[in-house]
Amino acid sequence: MSAPTRVLGQPRAGSSSRALLVAAPIAALLAVVPLVVPPYGAILLAYGLVMAIGALGFNLLLGYTGLLSFGHSAYFGVGAYSVALMVKYLRVGSMELFLLGAIVGSVIVTAVFGIVCVRYTRIFFGILTLALSQVLWSLAFKFFWVTGGTDGLRVPTPSLFGGLVTGAGDKTVFMSHAYYYYVLILFGACVALMWVIVNSPFGMALQAIRDNETRAEFVGVRIWRYRWVAFLVSGVFTGLAGALWVPLNGLTTPDIMHWTFSGELVFMTVLGGFRSFAGPVVGAIVFNYLKTYAVGYTVYWQLVLGVVLVTLVLSLPTGIVGSAEKLLARFQRSRP
């Protein structure tokens, strides 16, 4: 880690316009997807986009702050269960209120967990986040009269945009069109927000902490406070992903709080490449397809994913995006 650790794909001055140039065609492409692919394809992509929001939040800690959390399933689960409990106890049906509830819920939980966790780094941070996420998992698992236990809680189709769009009618059509666009808009907003965060002075300070904690402290960065805020933002993004995931799935079970789901979030991020901004997004979408097809194709899907992960870490540690950038750079250099 002593080599210059500039983040690959890290913007140079004035490259926000370049980023926009890359983002615009992708956004246009994503917008036409429901019009050209069958509903199932659009719903699958919606799952991928939701996971991408979660992985984007996760990577603020891993890629930008240098902290490997093995407990992000907790915040995803808090988002999902906030929605499910709002349905169960408050009879709420509006997606905007769901998102608000999920944000409030994940802010509270990450604020408390963060105070405990940010004092540690490396392996201790990983195990501590894992242990705390397992606390929530065991509560969701055991308090069945509140959370439904392993049966989980159902979440009906919500109404979007303050009731302008309702889920009346065919659920598949709703999910593959109205809800897909809803997810897409929020995805775009989250990507833009995260881009602003990592390029702000705050984001730069996080990277300074990651690269050299002692020096960052000497320059005057208050390490614990910065880490805590990063932890909070990271958890809230993942909580938001959980809230968006629930209506899509229709059901939330304690499985999404189990630490193996945290492992999947880590997997996605490494698959795409945690050293680049776009890495987790690409990784989450690819992982979603990979898992869906592996599960559909064989009962030994874990074996497939495990082999992919081990091979990836052995041979492509910079992930898909990092490797693509390297290839591109070589290609450009070879041209006169």
Partner 1 sequence: MDVLLIHIINSLLYASVLFLIAGGLSLIYGVMRIVNMAHGNLYAFGAYVTAWAVGTMAAGAPVPVLLMLLPVGALAAAILGAILEPTLLRPFYRRAEEYQLLVTFGLLMILEDLMRFIWGPYPLSASEIFENFGSLTIGDVIYPTYNLLVIGVGAAAASFLWAFIYRTRFGVVLRATSQNMRMAAALGVNVNRVYVQAFTLGCFMAGLGGAIIVPSQSAVLGMGIDAVVLAFIVVVIGGLGSLEGALVGAVIVGFVREAGIAWFPEIELAVLYLAAATVLLARPAGLFGRP
Stretch of 159-167, 169-177, 187-195, 258-266 lying at the interface with partner 1 (CB under 8 A) = 258-266
Q: Provide the mask over 171-190, with x wherever binding to partner 1 is found by CB under 8 A and - wherever it is not.
A: --------------------
78 vs 130, which CB is nearer to partner 1? 130
- Those residues whose C-beta lies under 8 Å from the C-beta of residue 47, and which sit 6 or more positions away, are 245, 248, 288, 292
286 touching partner 1, by CB under 8 A:
no
| Backbone torsions φ then ψ of 252, nearest 5 degrees | -125, 130
**Please, what is the minimum distance in Å from the beta carbon of residue 124 to partner 1?**
6
Contact criterion met (CB below 8 Å) for 64 and 210: yes
User: Cα separation of 83 and 185, whole Å?
Assistant: 19
Residues 108-137 that bind partner 1 (CB under 8 A): 116, 119-120, 122-124, 126-128, 130-132, 134-135
Q: If residue 153 lies in a helix (H) or strand (E), which one and from where to where?
A: strand 153-154
* Number of other CB atoms surrounding residue 192 within 10 Å: 13
Q: Provide the mask over 297-326, with x wherever binding to partner 1 is found by CB under 8 A and - wherever it is not.
A: --xxxxx-xxxxxx--xx--x---------
Q: Where are the alpha helices (DSSP H) in the chain?
A: 16-36, 39-59, 73-85, 95-117, 122-142, 144-147, 171-174, 180-199, 201-211, 213-219, 223-249, 259-272, 279-297, 301-315, 319-334
**Please, what is the minimum distance in Å from the beta carbon of residue 315 to partner 1?**
10
**Please, what is the minimum distance in Å from the beta carbon of residue 271 to partner 1?**
10
Q: Can you give the binding site for partner 1, defined by CB under 8 A? A: 1, 62, 68, 70, 116, 119-120, 122-124, 126-128, 130-132, 134-135, 138-139, 141-143, 259-260, 263, 266-267, 270, 299-303, 305-310, 313-314, 317
